Amino acid sequence: MLTTGNDGWGYAASTGLAFTHDEIVDAHFHACAAYYQDALDSVGIRPGWHVLDAGCGSGSFLPRIAELVGAGGLISALDLAEENAELAADRMRDHPARPRLDIRQGSVLELPYPDGTFDAVWCANTTQYLDDGELTRALAELRRVTRPGGLVAVKDVDGSLSTVRPADPFLITDFFRESAEFPGYARQLLRARDLYRWLRAAGLTSVRQRTILMEFHAPLTPAALRFYGNACARFAQQATSAGIPGDWSRFLDPDDPAGPLRDPDGYISEGNVIAIGTA
């Protein structure tokens, strides 16, 4: 069963998982698009390949995957939330690359594809919702559906690199230290730096990994303000409710013109990790 512990984080899709609603997922992608494209482009996807986007959300990565595989390629995608799968299909309906598409609802814990179907599998911002046992199961599935010599790429958030200025430099660090004391979503947001070990344990070879520091300086773009303002407000609400120490008051209103992210010296960073292995 997908892990619990998402209550209070907000922006859930029909699955109940935090930060999976297209309202917040699309805002995140637009804010981080250049970093995300760099991560995807580093996988090594080639024209004509059959690629799976496992946990595709509303399909933000699909247009770039379509460009990489070209008209001769094939894209499969699935998401646990049925409405996200529908949004992804809508997004790609008139894409100029015109790749062949198969988009459906489904779970990364039980992929509905035969062994060795794909040349590459892309799984972004999805493993954070799996507990350790589920992560092992999901990686086994990703490896199973990838052909020998094909690629499995997993990208996810590394919460340990999140910080904001002007504010206590340990504010978000202390939030994670407190909220990740027990198994659950917060702890899983700190697991990405160990993905290389998980991929190796799943039987993948030639595993490579890199960490991406995504930084945003004032004046933040509207997309960055929208996502990080709302995300910080959710953190602040949860921290305040849980009694986690720190001055979270300045983050509670994402539209506050005096908020840290709108300060002339405003800054926020987020870490992402991409690990790539060969089946």
Residues 60-86 have pLDDT tens digits of 999 999 999 998 999 999 999 999 999
- Residue 134 CA neighbour count, 13 Å, CB half: 18
Residue 4 has pLDDT above 60, yes or no: no
User: What are the tens digits of pLDDT across the range 232-260?
Assistant: 998 899 899 889 989 999 999 999 999 99
Going by C-alpha positions, the residue among 37, 157, 26, 17 that lies closest to residue 87 is 26
Residue 268 vs residues 169, 189, 192, 261, 262: alpha-carbon distances, Å: 11, 17, 19, 7, 11
Cα dihedral across residues 264, 270, 274, 275: positive or negative:
positive
Which run of H or E residues covers position 227? helix 222-242
Q: Is 44 left (phi over 0), alpha (psi -120 to 50) or beta?
A: left
Q: Provide the residue ranges of all domains of the chain, joining segments of one domain with +.
A: 22-157+184-219+270-278
Q: What are phi and psi of 152, to 5 degrees?
A: -120, 120
Q: What angle do CA 267, 272, 274 make, to 5 degrees?
A: 155
**267-272 average pLDDT score:** 97
Strands (E), the chain: 50-54, 74-79, 100-105, 118-124, 146-165, 205-217, 267-278
Residue 177 has pLDDT above 70, yes or no: yes
Going by C-alpha positions, the residue among 12, 21, 53, 49 that lies closest to residue 36 is 53
What pTM was computed for the model? 0.92
Residue 36 has pLDDT above 60, yes or no: yes
When pLDDT is cut at 50, 70 and 90, the band that residue 23 belongs to is confident
Across the chain, what does the average pLDDT equal? 92
Residue 124 has pLDDT above 80, yes or no: yes
Q: Can you tell me the distance from the alpha carbon of 188 to that of 182, in angstroms, rounded to the nearest whole number?
A: 10
Three-class secondary structure of residue 46 per DSSP: coil
Q: What was the pLDDT predicted at 1?
A: 31
All residues at 6 or more sequence positions from 43 whose CB lies less than 8 Å from its CB, including other chains: 120, 122, 151, 153, 274, 276
Q: Residues of the chain with pLDDT > 70: what percent?
A: 93
Q: Can you tell me the distance from the alpha carbon of 185 to that of 108, in angstroms, rounded to the nearest whole number?
A: 17
**Peptide bond just before 63 cis, omega within 30 deg:** no
Instruction: Please tell me the CATH superfamily of domain 22-157+184-219+270-278, with its number.
Output: Vaccinia Virus protein VP39 (3.40.50.150)
Q: Can you tell me the distance from the alpha carbon of 128 to that of 125, in angstroms, rounded to the nearest whole number?
A: 6
Q: Can you tell me the distance from the alpha carbon of 224 to that of 112, in angstroms, rounded to the nearest whole number?
A: 35
Residue 99 has pLDDT above 80, yes or no: no
Q: What was the pLDDT predicted at 3?
A: 41
